[in-house]
Structure 1
Amino acid sequence: MIVFTYDNTFDGLLSCVFFAYEQRKFPDLILSEFDQKPLFIDEQYYVDTEKEKSKRVWKGLEKKISKFAQNMLLSVWLSELPETAMLLFRYIRKNIDHPQGIEMNFGDDDVLRIKDIAQKVGADARKLIQFIRFQETADGIWFAPVSPRYNVLSLIVPHFRSRYAGQPWIIYDTNRNCGLYYDTRTVAEVTFPQEEFSRLKSGIVDEDRLSDDEAFFQQLWKAYFKSITIKERINLKLQRQQMPRRYWKYLTEMQ
């Protein structure tokens, strides 16, 4: 068994592809530095992340696969599933080795799995856009906690930069303790210290940190949601299909 170890970054994975072709050593397993190693290993290599080499691999892929397939590949990376590294390695290798690439070969198990995961990641991002609820803080920043299944914040940023271009906001992933802050010009990654994060994970911002109007508008929204409900037509099964329960935690109207 040949095992590659890398730094668990996308550039690191592309560096693994470069290393494999350079050394003519193709891994049976690709692991991060923190993954448990199998008991029996014939050869093990730690692959350093080198941006220039990863760029060369990506440029080579751009010549072999469409923009749509490139986006699928990136979406699969954002899934963070345990199988991701080896799945993407096999997919990239098959496209490099095949004269015309294999992105449309749906008889290939890896192509089907890439498509399946990419669709699920895309669906998670679209649901997140629908169900985000912002809270205005005392310092004028609009804050929204979220808990997506996949690491999709980067996929939803273009929508919110366009939709809320004139106001600063933070969308915070409570599953991964990281978020994105938009200051009306640029987007930057932010994290909160552990003592702050434990409170934020509940999704409830302390009242003294909310703007003067926020609590009032939350009550208005809840009242509106209640007033449009027709009790005789309540269909909880359909509601859960359209608004999956795992998104309810941070919905103002469901508190």
Structure 2
Amino acid sequence: MKKVYICSDTITGIFSAIYDAWKESRDREAGIELRGMMDTQLFCEYAEVTEEERKAAAVEKLIQNHLGYNTYWDIYHALLSAHPKKAEAVFHVMQTARTVGNSKRIMEHLSDPDVACVFELSRKVANEAHQFMEFIRFRELENGVLFSEITPKNRVLTCIADHFADRFPLENWMIYDKTYREFLVHPMRCRWALVSGECLNQEEAEKISMAETEFERLWQGFFQSIAIKERKNPICQRTHLPLHFRQDMTEFLPIREAR
């Protein structure tokens, strides 16, 4: 009977499920389902996974040692996607890697549907993260914190964290993921941290500094003044700047009144 392991949609949760599945069912058919996104199947045994950091660390080490560092990052990015079957696809890729001559070249076997799935998910997450590095706009709050809100399709915060930590090492800044309700927090001269399970205080987030209000107005005015009406091409513009990103960009927000 097929055994299905149930876990939460986090890296620790999924790696813990892979740990249990690898330990108990790596030589037979098994599945991994994300809690809240399950498709109930007949003739299956279901098992709740106990999430532990040691399990996640063991799977991370296993992948890096036997599948290679590049494959690990493909898998890591794929697990940040919103796809409900990503965990099971990764587990099946690990199973398939045991049957090929060089397990570190497993991601070259794109004829395998699970390998192709992981490759595609990894590519989409990496592309979205790269776009957010360009499109994220910070605003200065009254308390001096640089704050940004984004609405990603995938969990990209950890993918962009080092980029902004390198750019603003001497700033207190925070990025809020409205889709997954997570915060990327960077205190001045410290390492960044990912915070989950907290709610955004929208009232405080709207208290921007007077200088920020003026800079927003100047930036929006510049954005409008450089546009050439006769050469407007919405299709071309959407190619370079998809509509999905514009809801959180200063250029496309209503102009704030100066106080």
The counterpart of 1:186, out of the listed 191, 196, 203, is: 191
Q: For residue 144 of structure 1, what is the amino acid of its counterpart?
A: S
SS of residue matched to 2:215:
helix
How far the C-alpha of 1:67 sits from its partner, in A, is 1.9
Q: For residue 126 of structure 1, what is the amino acid of its counterpart?
A: H
Asked if 2 retains the 8 angstrom alpha-carbon contact of 1:20 and 1:27, the reply is: no
For residues 119-160 of structure 1, give each alpha carbon's deviation from its aligned partner in whole angstroms, at most 9, with x where no partner exists.
111110111111111110000001111101110010001110
1:251 aligned residue? 249
Instruction: Work out whether 1:104 is the aligned partner of 2:108.
Output: yes
How far the C-alpha of 1:37 sits from its partner, in A, is 5.6
Cα separation, partners in 2 of 1:18 and 1:177, compared to 1, 3 Å: closer
Cα separation, partners in 2 of 1:86 and 1:131, compared to 1, 3 Å: same
2:257 aligned residue? none
SS of residue matched to 2:170:
coil
Give the count of matched residue pairs: 248
1:9 aligned residue? 10
1:75-90 to 2 correspondences below 5 Å: 75-90=77-92
How far the C-alpha of 1:85 sits from its partner, in A, is 1.3
1:195-206 to 2 correspondences below 5 Å: 196-197=201-202, 205-206=205-206
Moved more, 229-238 or 31-40: 31-40
1:1-255 to 2 correspondences below 5 Å: 1-24=2-25, 26-36=28-38, 38=40, 40-101=42-103, 102-184=106-188, 185-190=190-195, 194=199, 196-197=201-202, 205-206=205-206, 209-255=207-253
For residues 45-65 of structure 1, give each alpha carbon's deviation from its aligned partner in whole angstroms, at most 9, with x where no partner exists.
223234334433332222222
Could you tell me how far apart the structure 1 residues matched to 2:39 and 2:108 are? Answer: 34
Asked if 2 retains the 8 angstrom alpha-carbon contact of 1:181 and 1:189, the reply is: yes
Could you tell me how far apart the structure 1 residues matched to 2:40 and 2:197 are? Answer: 35
How far the C-alpha of 1:74 sits from its partner, in A, is 0.3
Structure 2 gaps, min length 5: 254-259
Asked if 2 retains the 8 angstrom alpha-carbon contact of 1:180 and 1:188, the reply is: yes
Q: For residue 230 of structure 1, what is the amino acid of its counterpart?
A: I
Moved more, 17-26 or 175-184: 17-26
Cα separation, partners in 2 of 1:219 and 1:21, compared to 1, 3 Å: closer
Cα separation, partners in 2 of 1:8 and 1:248, compared to 1, 3 Å: closer
- With normalisation by structure 2, the TM-score equals 0.86
Could you tell me how far apart the structure 2 residues matched to 1:190 and 1:50 are? Answer: 18
SS of residue matched to 1:165:
coil
Cα separation, partners in 2 of 1:9 and 1:150, compared to 1, 3 Å: closer
Cα separation, partners in 2 of 1:10 and 1:41, compared to 1, 3 Å: farther
SS of residue matched to 1:16:
helix
SS of residue matched to 1:144:
strand
Q: For residue 146 of structure 1, what is the amino acid of its counterpart?
A: I
Asked if 1 retains the 8 angstrom alpha-carbon contact of 2:3 and 2:31, the reply is: yes
Asked if 2 retains the 8 angstrom alpha-carbon contact of 1:132 and 1:251, the reply is: yes
Cα separation, partners in 2 of 1:219 and 1:164, compared to 1, 3 Å: same
How far the C-alpha of 1:78 sits from its partner, in A, is 0.3
Identity over the aligned pairs, expressed in percent? 25
Moved more, 89-98 or 210-219: 89-98
Asked if 1 retains the 8 angstrom alpha-carbon contact of 2:107 and 2:119, the reply is: no
Cα separation, partners in 2 of 1:16 and 1:39, compared to 1, 3 Å: closer
Moved more, 24-33 or 133-142: 24-33
How far the C-alpha of 1:43 sits from its partner, in A, is 2.1
Asked if 2 retains the 8 angstrom alpha-carbon contact of 1:5 and 1:30, the reply is: yes
SS of residue matched to 1:78:
coil
- With normalisation by structure 1, the TM-score equals 0.87
Cα separation, partners in 2 of 1:191 and 1:143, compared to 1, 3 Å: farther
